[in-house]
Structure 1
Amino acid sequence: MGKQVIEPFLTVANYRFIEQQAHKILRALTTTKDKNVILAVRGIVKADVIDSFTWSEEEEKVIQPLIDITDRTEGEAFLEQLTSYIVPFKTVEASKLKSLFKKEKKLKLPTLEEMDFQHISYLAWDDPGKLRRYMVIEQDSGFKALKGTFTHPSTKGICALCNQHSDVVRLTTSVKGEVPGTFTKHYNYICADSQLCNQQVTDIEKVRTFFDRVTK
């Protein structure tokens, strides 16, 4: 009987979270010789990664080696093989982006050919001339779009998307109010560098919650 093939099952955010936890173990290994401390860190990681998610038996077998990594080389090898289990961001065509932002005149589009969809939780790009940011997430079988204007220069703060301390800009978005002709504005601080932000997103639900909150 042939070896069972496991289909990709990790979101990009799942992968980033596991990567974060691997670094937690590696930091413990390099900063202390106390076996009890290292054992405690491994236990915390196991609780956060294995016990807090609903994995199938086969999926858990893929992730389990994380708990036992002993050095950086082993950790990097584990993370490298884990990339084959990532479900990438759904490929989106330029025509689709235009339809998502159909009210936007002279929409500046990103260079989609240069996008690494296997490493982003959301798609974002800027029009620096207008100080405008465009953002897209997957929703159900399609996409959900958001646009806003951002301040310049950036400042230090907590990003509303990845929840990390970073260089942030204030993003202003607006939606139509209940009274015709009125608008509700939302102000949020998000990473100035959306590529860096994507590397720091470890919970896709927080990104979806952000989108839902500022589009209502």
Structure 2
Amino acid sequence: MNAPFIRNHQYNLIKKQAAMVQRACNTVADPKVVESVRYSAQSKIVEALPEASEDQRLALEKIVALQTLGDFGQYLRELESDLIGFQPVTDKQIKKLFPKIKKLKVPDLAAIDLRFVTYLGWTDIATSKLFLVYARSGQLFGIEGRFTPTNKKGTCFLCNRQEEVALFSAITKSKPANASSDYYKAIGNYVCVDSGVCNRNITDVAALERFIQDIGGSSR
């Protein structure tokens, strides 16, 4: 039995490619075009998981043979057993990431299926703040920032999809060598209002990891 090898954002990419192949099968009459879409999807999926073993790669490459709606559904369900869940985390660990927040409200972790989580994100309406927790190489990173809803759709900088967004502004901890004691710099981006939606959309963690690096998020 294979060990889990697919992270949530990679699974989302696989779902996206599977949907494109399924749509081509249903709407395109030219078999050559459909075949091209199939092998393009296969290539993108394999490229997204370069460390997959031979057996794992064979499981991923089954996308080229899928025909019916049932085939696509079974393909994705089988891959769910290969998902690497978000790093197990406790309320105490999360609170240590935000030591200045004395009454931090932590989400109900027991109610979250960590297989489908790239980052933990939640808002505190009372303080108009958004909190993000991300795990990388066994280390947890936490970022907090001002959360200002726009009440309109826009492109989320994390998942790159059109969703209802809010402006997320966080203060970077890095300072120029000659900066004064009261120096600060805020970095703002538009992010999905609903972190659950964002986690279902995100197919690449580059923007998230770059943001954490730029802000200098707290780590444990």
TM-score, scaled to structure 1: 0.93
Match of 2:212 in 1: 211
Which SS does the other structure have where 2:126 is aligned? coil
Q: Figure out how many residues of one structure are paired with residues of the other and give that number.
A: 212
Q: Which residue of 1 is the match for residue 149 of structure 2?
A: 152
- 1:53 Cα deviation after fit: 3.9
Contact 1:148–1:171 (Cα < 8 Å) also in 2: yes
1:143-169: per-residue Cα shift (whole Å, max 9, x none)?
000011111243221111111111111
Q: Does 1:57 align with 2:54?
A: yes
**CA contact under 8 A between 2:122 and 2:195: conserved in structure 1?**
yes
Q: Does the aligned pair in 2 maintain the 1:131–1:150 contact within 8 Å?
A: yes
- Give the C-alpha shift of residue 215 in structure 1: 3.0
- Cα deviations by residue, 1:59-112 (Å, 9 ceiling, x for unpaired): 111111112110111101110010000110011100011101111121111111
| Cα-to-partner distance string for 1:19-47 (whole Å, 9 max, x where unaligned) | 11000101111112221111111121122
Q: Which has the higher contact order (CA 8 A, sep 6+)?
A: 2
Q: Deviations over 1:161-203 (max 9, x none)?
A: 1111111110111024342221111110011111000000111
Runs of 4+ in 1 over 4 A off after TM superposition: none
* Code of the aligned partner of 1:95: K
Partner of 2:21: 25
Q: Per the alignment, in what secondary structure is the counterpart of residue 103 of structure 2?
A: coil
Unpaired runs of 5+ residues, structure 1, are none
Match for residue 182 of structure 2?
A: 181
Partner amino acid, structure 2, of 1:41 = V
* Identity between Structure 1 and Structure 2 (%): 27
Correspondence for 2:109: 112
Matched, 1:34 2:30: yes
Q: Report whether the alignment pairs 1:48 with 2:49.
A: no
Distance 1:31 1:210 in 2: 39
The secondary structure found in structure 2 opposite 1:108 is: coil
2:200 corresponding residue in structure 1: 199
Contact 2:6 2:83 (C-alpha < 8 Å) held by counterparts: yes
Cross-structure match for 2:63: 66
- RMSD, aligned α-carbons: 1.5
Q: 2:97 aligns with which of 95, 100, 103?
A: 100
Q: Structure 2 unaligned runs (5+)? A: none
